[in-house]
């Protein structure tokens, strides 16, 4: 079936619900695991401070496979690929629950991520093909609601399942939802296809190789199996892969990522800002649940309940982003909010075992509010100056960058956490002190990252904020 507006009222009525289910599954999975990591670590005989690979393996795999998802959907049909995606995600969840050690769990998470990388992008692509432009915004707004609800429910649901049953149920809960989604999709999803060019396999291999090696260096720097020369070799290989892609992309007709996209000032700054800012902010979803459970000794369920105010703050604060940007502009908003967010993260350095819990909750609420402004502003400025010819590829590039930035942010925060633990800073144990110093480093990194947004012009993104039209790019 060629892409086009659908007329069947039954499909038009239920198709958005299927997109909502897909987004809810991924949003819930992204947060439900965080409060369960200490319990999983105990069960598998691992340190809770070295469990970040369970998250990084998923987000990195998703980042690497997102470019492939749209091509597969256009080539083989949205219905076939969506059903395949949900099936792989659900089977991966089952494999995760059956894992007997950390290596098996990481491999299962990679398998799960193969499905996750296609699930939401293909659902969104199906809706774009199925609805006219004047109805699409309403539909997209509807399916994003679960993405906001998931982070509120995830930590609490994860804590409840871990405490009342076992950590295995964090993954088993996906099975009935996945089964319903597959049965639903077989009846509702149209099998849209579209003409596509040959997939840029060499470009994908070069980029994937470079990004994977960078992540391994950050993740495995302390591994006894890797010497300093091994790490240097991996780093050099990563650099060669990325430089190789740049050389290759300039000489191929249909590259995986067009280098011309980086000539768009707002997109370039937004993408770089996403990466460098998340090196500090990106570790917070991992650090805070670990702080509450490992540092303060709270139960998984209680830690999950304490995460709700932060999620609510994030949800409510999104309503104020547009007025803030309209008044101060993207440049001033991003510079000041990045600095304030860094200062806030640094304030976690002053907490200790005797800090009242309401102080920690207050810091988390503020973190949720500043994060909402930060991420919404960075994402919208990235898309501000895209046109009909660049919007699809630019949006895909932003999605890849977000997932990659999340992966790097978690890896970097876990790396500093382990450095402070091994160096004997503070208590020299898995107590609050190692978290305090890690938060301090994360805060400083975030403050320094604000420099990226000074590269924005004063009127950048003004066409989105409603102030006045802004010229797309100075580049020829």
The domain boundary, picked from 143, 163, 195, lies at 195
pLDDT value of residue 471? 42
473 and 390 in a single domain? The answer is: yes
244 and 343 in a single domain? The answer is: no
The enclosing H or E element of 168 equals none
pLDDT value of residue 389? 66
219 and 117 in a single domain? The answer is: no
290 close to 48: Cβ distance less than 8 angstroms: yes
Query: How far apart are alpha carbons 156 and 351 in whole angstroms?
Result: 23
pLDDT value of residue 428? 44
Query: How far apart are alpha carbons 466 and 324 in whole angstroms?
Result: 12
DSSP, residue by residue, 27-57 = HHHHHHTGGGHHHHHHHHT--GGG-THHHHH
Distances (CA, A) of 437 to 194, 249, 295, 332, 425: 52, 42, 13, 29, 8
Query: How far apart are alpha carbons 54 and 107 in whole angstroms?
Result: 9
Range of the domain at 398: 260-476
Q: What's the domain count of the chain? A: 3
SS3 194: coil
Query: How far apart are alpha carbons 189 and 404 in whole angstroms?
Result: 29
429 and 330 in a single domain? The answer is: yes
42 and 68 in a single domain? The answer is: yes
279 and 325 in a single domain? The answer is: yes
Provide the β-strand partners of residue 65: none
15 and 137 in a single domain? The answer is: yes
pLDDT value of residue 472? 42
The number of residues in the chain equals 476
Give which of 447, 445, 443 is closest to 346, Cα–Cα.
443
Average pLDDT for runs of 10 along the chain of length 476: 59 78 80 82 82 83 84 85 92 92 90 88 79 67 69 79 86 89 85 80 87 80 74 88 89 83 85 88 84 81 82 83 83 92 92 82 89 84 71 75 83 84 61 84 92 83 53 42
Please report, for the domain that includes residue 439, its CATH number.
1.20.1250.20
Distances (CA, A) of 262 to 208, 285, 395: 19, 29, 13
DSSP assigned state of 197: P
160 and 15 in a single domain? The answer is: yes
58 and 147 in a single domain? The answer is: yes
185 and 62 in a single domain? The answer is: yes
276 and 247 in a single domain? The answer is: no
30 and 64 in a single domain? The answer is: yes
pLDDT value of residue 375? 85
């Amino acid at each position: 079936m060629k892409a086009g507006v659908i007329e069947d009222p039954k499909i038009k009525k239920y198709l958005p619900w299927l997109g909502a289910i897909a987004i809810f599954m991924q949003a819930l999975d992204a947060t439900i695991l965080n409060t369960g990591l200490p319990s999983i670590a105990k069960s598998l005989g691992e340190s809770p401070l070295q469990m970040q690979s369970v998250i990084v393996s998923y987000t990195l795999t998703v980042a690497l496979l997102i470019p492939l998802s749209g091509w597969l959907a256009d080539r083989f049909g949205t219905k076939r690929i969506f059903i395949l995606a949900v099936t792989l995600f659900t089977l991966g969840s089952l494999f995760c629950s059956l894992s007997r050690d950390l290596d098996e769990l990481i491999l299962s998470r990679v398998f799960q991520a193969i499905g996750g990388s296609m699930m939401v992008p293909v659902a969104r692509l199906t809706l774009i093909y199925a609805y006219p432009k004047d109805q699409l915004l309403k539909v997209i707004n509807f399916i994003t609601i679960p993405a906001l609800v998931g982070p509120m429910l995830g930590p609490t649901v994860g804590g409840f399942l871990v405490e009342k049953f076992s950590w295995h149920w964090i993954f088993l809960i996906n099975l009935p939802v996945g089964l319903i989604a597959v049965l639903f999709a077989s009846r509702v999803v149209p099998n849209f296809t579209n003409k596509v060019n040959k997939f840029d396999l060499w470009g994908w291999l070069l980029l994937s190789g470079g990004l994977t090696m960078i992540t391994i260096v950050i993740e495995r720097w302390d591994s006894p199996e890797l010497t300093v020369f091994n790490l240097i070799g991996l780093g050099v290989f990563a650099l060669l892969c990325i430089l190789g892609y740049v050389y290759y992309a300039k000489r191929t007709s249909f590259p995986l990522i067009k280098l011309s996209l980086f000539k768009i000032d707002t997109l370039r700054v937004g993408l770089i800002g996403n990466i460098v800012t998340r090196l500090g902010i990106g570790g917070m979803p991992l650090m805070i649940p670990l702080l509450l459970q490992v540092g303060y000794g709270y139960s998984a369920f209680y830690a999950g309940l304490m995460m709700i105010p932060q999620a609510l703050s994030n949800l409510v604060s999104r309503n104020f982003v547009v007025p803030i940007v309209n008044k101060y502009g993207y440049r001033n908003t991003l510079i000041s909010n990045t600095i304030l967010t860094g200062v806030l993260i640094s304030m976690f350095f002053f907490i200790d075992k005797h800090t009242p819990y309401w102080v920690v909750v207050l810091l988390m609420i503020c973190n949720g509010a500043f994060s909402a402004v930060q991420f919404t502003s960075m994402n919208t400025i990235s898309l501000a100056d895209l046109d009909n010819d660049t919007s699809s590829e630019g949006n895909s590039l932003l999605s890849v960058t977000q997932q990659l930035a999340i992966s790097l942010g978690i890896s970097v925060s876990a790396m500093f956490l382990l450095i402070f633990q091994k160096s004997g800073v503070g208590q020299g144990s898995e107590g609050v002190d190692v978290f305090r110093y890690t938060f301090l480093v994360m805060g400083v990194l975030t403050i320094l990252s604000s420099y990226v947004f000074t590269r924005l012009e004063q009127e950048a993104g003004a066409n989105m904020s409603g102030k006045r039209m802004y010229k797309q790019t100075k580049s020829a």
